[in-house]
Amino acid sequence: MTSRLIPEHPILVYPSLASKLGLEESILLSVLAELAGHAPSEVKGQFEWRNLASNRLQSVVPFWNDRDLKRICHSLHAKGVLLLGANSLSPDHPFRYAFNERALYVGQPNTASRPTPAPHNTPVLASPSNNFIAANWQPDPVTFAQLAQHNIPENFARDQIPEFVTYWRERGESHRSWGAKFIQHVIRQWRQFEAQRNRQDQNSIMDNQWRPSLDAMEVLTVHASIKREFVEDAIPEFIVYWQERGDAHKTWNSKFIQHVRIQWKKFNTALEHSTDPKLLPSHWQPSEDVYDVLRLANIDVNFATGLIPEFILYWRDSNQVHTSWNTRFLQHAKREWARQHALANQTNNNEQRSTRDITLEEELADRSWAN
């Protein structure tokens, strides 16, 4: 009658292991030790590795789901008790594991050179002696998986490796699990990083020592192509304005970028519409407004663009100054367009002046196109 009520093989719980590792960890360790006796082993790196079918472990502990098994396995790995192979916790791969203890061999004289591993009746905790960190030590994938559960990016964790290895090599201490040590170290560093970031994100009042960040300067000078001198000159005005307002913000860099862009646009607009006469620059180009007017007048833009080199050459040679070169060019383009069409429709060449007799200055001053 009893065998019908309890048909399964019992699971042993070792009180000493439960007190050191936790109840769930000690149960899983006991199950793995039992299954180890029925699984083929492979000695590699002084550890005995065993492979279980992907569904074998789940069938022995049906009271745990996949998430529970991963959590407990990660806990045993972090405590230095269990070693896990690559993809061990994937349902599509065998569960590969080893107890973190030095492999013991029973010598067999006059036999083949292959050693026979000693039997394991109960799991043995790894000894911390002689387990020093190597100069090229790297965390395994399980360690990164555990850190990911704390929402810590892998890139951040990898950045902590050099400092971690250097620190423990200088101390010359040995530990049972460097993976567990590394997890503790990264979590501590991540919390400090987040605390610092949160402090930076808090609202603050503008002070005299404020400076835009390097990223803000790059956005303005590189991406927006604003002169660095202009950006530097805008800082004092920006500080005074917000100090007088007394507002507190956490996005001063964004506000500064917006401020400088507006001022730069106003500056360029003022230059464009300045009433002061000026020479024509060698790199001058018509504004977009000129091309819009040409389109409205049904003047081919490519035709107008072809006039630019001659226009620049003439006016730079003349060394004259004007208040609006856009207007001058617009008049010139309309005049040339009208003349081209007039020549195409010309029926009596004798009634027209030769184009060779018309100077560029006369062409630019002529407004017959407007008739």
Mean pLDDT of the chain: 77
Q: What's the pTM?
A: 0.31
DSSP states of 281-292: PTT----HHHHH
Q: Is 294 exposed, middle or buried (0-12, 13-18, 19+ CB in 10 A)?
A: buried
**More confident of the two residues 270 and 29:** 29
pLDDT, tens digit, 9 for 90 and up, residues 210-266: 899 888 899 999 888 898 988 998 898 898 888 888 888 878 889 899 999 998 887
Structure tokens at 103: 């492999």
DSSP state of 176: S
For the cut 80, the answer to whether the pLDDT of residue 323 exceeds it is no
**More confident of the two residues 4 and 158:** 158
